[in-house]
Structure formats: C-alpha cells, structure tokens
C-alpha cells in the first residue's frame, strides 16, 4: 500500500526519497555479488549518466561489459571512470550509433557474444530531425535502433543460458497515448519532450509483444523507468526541470538500480512487464493512454518493416 501511494504521488515515488524508502525492503544479497560472472553485457548510451551507471553496476557483479557508444572519445572517458569505480572490471568500448542502421549492423557483427543487452541510449531533440535512414530521431534512437540491434543479436542471445533484454523507458510515457497513426511525428507542432515521451510509450507497449516474439529463443524482455535521476542528459535537455527538482533527484546509480537488478536477479523476473524500483508497475495511469492489442501489433509491424528496408 505504501509503495503504491509513493508511486502514484509521482514526486515522492520518482524522487530520491522513494528510492531510499523502498531500498530498505530489498534483500541484501539481491543480486548476488558474483551474479554475472562469466556473462557478457552490452549497454548502449554508456558514455555518461544512466548508461555509465548501469555499466558500473553490471561490472561490479562480474560481467564483461561493452560500452556501446556513439562517440568513442566520450566512451573512453567513461571507460576510465568505470574502471576507477570497479578496478577489476572487464570492460571495453565499441562504437554504435543506435539511430544509424549501418552502425548498428557493424556493431552487431563485431559482438559474437551477448547475455545481457541494455537499451539505454536516448535523445531529446529541440526540433524535429531525421536519422540517416530517414526516420524521426527519437523513434530511430528509442525504438527502431534497439529493435534492429536485438534482432541482429538474436543468435548470440539464443546461445545464452539466460538472455535478458532491458529497455530503459521513462515515467514521462504515462502522459502519452500510442502514436500508432503517426509514429514518425509528422503531424502537429513538434515538441522534443513529447517526442521523447511518445517513443518511451512505444517501448513499454511493445515490451509484451517482443517478449512473445523472442520467447522461443529464451530471451526475456523487460522495460522500466528510472525515476528522476540527475544526469548530463537531464541538465542539457531539461535545465528548468532540473533546477526545480534538483534536491529531489536520484544519483545515476540509484536511477540505474532497477536495470541492473533486472539484468542479474535470480530467478529471472517475468518477461514482458514494466518495472520501477524493483516492482512491477502499471503501464497506464490515465484511461486515454490505453492502446488495443491490434494497435500495438500495427506499430510492431511498422517498426519491423522499417528496419529491413
């Protein structure tokens, strides 16, 4: 009951206070200290913020971590910080611009092993733009690129005894319905924050269908939102919001906690669900945001067609 009240209050549940209150109820050894020993984890958008914090968390549990980054210079700086945080870490960088299908294909071809794939790369553009493949930037980054990368890595994930795919969504998705009729955001006045939330809604709605699509391969698919975390991306994209709620913001490590937990806890969490602070959360809080099964299936067909063209 208290946890639900925290969640519905938003301010308390998404803030650092919510994390600190909930953490008191979590088992001390979950995940186990060496839970990921011998496993390979790929983390996109790992050059700072939540992605870097996820990498630190996974490396601390024994995983070999690949920082999939668009900018190798920033990636090497993040690599140094991960090694400083986890001196024994097995970690390296590899270039991957998830909004660029050619870059995604090149990255997947270089990575013969994958047990864990964390889709964290994110953008919040000030105006509408398109990827080199002709897709709206947030759609390419948050939905199409991750879908293509997972499809390409299916053989590697299939070979794992416990493959997990984790999508880093956002609580902002609660404000948006599924834009199945305009996934490329061509109609209406474009707002970056809306585009961001729309594509995060897509991630969450697609999670159950992707879990079913990849179930026969033994791949578990999970989505989550991290709460309000103080990251370089937040400072750049939403400076006014950061100034307003600054003292309430979580650290990147606190925001990354559930992604790390979903990647490592045993037994594996049920696939196809949406999580926050290690608890399953509803996909909808507002009635008008609900989508039908047919609408979600239509969106998935659009996305699958887009990545093979």
Q: Cβ of 260: how many Cβ atoms within 10 Å?
A: 26
Query: Using CA atoms, how far apart are residues 279 and 256, in angstroms rounded to an integer?
Result: 14
Residue 293 φ/ψ, nearest 5 degrees: -60, -40
From the list 14, 174, 196, 302, the catalytic residue is 196
Greatest distance between any 2 Cα atoms in the chain:
51
Smallest CA-to-CA distance from 164 within 207, 195, 134, 199 is with 207
- To the query of whether residue 185 is one of the catalytic residues in this protein, the response is no
Q: Which two three-digit tokens encode residue 74? A: 């920033």
- In DSSP notation, 144-180 reads IHHHHHHHHTHHHHHTSSSEEEEEE--GGGGG----T
Rounded (5°) CA angle 161-204-115: 20
Residues designated as active site? 196
């Amino acid at each position: 009951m208290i946890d639900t009240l925290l969640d519905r209050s938003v301010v308390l549940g998404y803030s650092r206070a919510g994390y600190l209150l909930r953490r008191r109820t979590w088992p001390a050894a979950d995940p186990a200290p060496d839970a990921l020993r011998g496993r390979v984890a790929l983390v996109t958008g790992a050059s700072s913020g939540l992605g870097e914090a996820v990498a630190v968390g996974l490396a601390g549990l024994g995983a070999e971590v690949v920082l999939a980054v668009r900018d190798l210079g920033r990636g090497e700086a993040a690599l140094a910080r991960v090694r400083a945080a986890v001196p024994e870490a097995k970690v390296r960088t590899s270039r991957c611009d998830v909004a660029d299908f050619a870059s995604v294909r090149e990255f997947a071809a270089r990575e013969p092993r994958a047990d864990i794939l964390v889709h964290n790369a994110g953008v919040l553009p000030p105006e509408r733009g398109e990827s080199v493949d002709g897709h709206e930037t947030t759609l390419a980054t948050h939905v199409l690129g991750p879908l293509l990368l997972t499809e390409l890595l299916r053989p590697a994930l299939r070979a794992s005894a416990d493959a997990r795919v984790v999508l880093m969504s956002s609580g902002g998705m609660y404000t948006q319905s599924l834009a199945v009729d305009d996934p490329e955001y061509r109609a209406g006045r474009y707002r970056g924050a809306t585009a961001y939330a729309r594509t995060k809604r897509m991630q969450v709605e697609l999670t159950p269908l992707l879990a079913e699509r990849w179930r026969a391969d033994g791949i578990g698919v999970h989505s989550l939102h991290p709460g309000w975390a103080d990251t370089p991306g937040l400072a750049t994209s939403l400076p006014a919001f950061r100034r307003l709620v600054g003292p309430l913001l979580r650290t990147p490590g606190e925001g990354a906690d559930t992604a790390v937990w979903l990647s490592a806890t045993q037994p594996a969490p049920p696939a196809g669900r949406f999580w926050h602070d290690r608890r399953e959360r509803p996909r909808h809080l507002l009635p008008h945001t609900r989508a039908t099964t047919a609408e979600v299936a239509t969106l998935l067909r659009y996305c699958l067609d887009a990545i093979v063209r």
